[in-house]
Amino acid sequence: MNHFARGGVAAIAFTLLALPSSASTVEEAFAAVPPHPSVATVLESCQEDMAMFCGDGAFRMDVLASCLRENEDLLTPACADVQADFRTRSISLRNAMQPFRDNETAACADDAARLCEGSPVGRATCLRLNADDLSPACSSARAQSAEARRVARNLHRVAR
């Protein structure tokens, strides 16, 4: 058995053992992620801080979040608690996503070596450009990882 065949079998076995392929697995992985503080909670808890540090103009939520992060050592306790909730949630999202990233990296290692060595583009772009030539294990892991990214993006949006 050549190196590719051995690696391909190992990648398939790893994919099948590491994460079941059902969509509920992705949802289960993100089930423990704490809820986002709502915009109303942020505005209520951080109104004083936003006026003091960020001005009173119309801002996008990402600009306000950045302003509050930059001044986190000076925030009122209520606003600091909301910022801590955001940090905890971000860490939880990252931790829930990691097994899917690891699974994709392992399942696509042989494909990346075969298709992307010397490629002028990054590994992810190379694999995307060579989607028709990927092994079933790599294709499956990439699909599952994409689904996990979609769920994470939806969960990352702030509740209104």
pLDDT tens string 55-106:
765 567 778 878 888 998 999 999 999 888 888 888 888 888 899 999 999 9
Residue among 145, 18, 29 nearest 134 (CA): 145
Residue among 20, 23, 73, 79 nearest 46 (CA): 79
What is the per-residue pLDDT for 116?
Answer: 92
Ranges of each domain in the chain: 3-156
Name the pTM for this structure: 0.65
Kindly report the backbone phi and psi dihedral angles of residue 58, in degrees, each rounded to the nearest multiple of 5, phi listed first. -80, 120
What is the per-residue pLDDT for 107?
Answer: 96
Sign of the four-CA dihedral 17, 20, 21, 25:
negative
Say how far apart CA 34 and CA 43 lie, in whole Å. 19
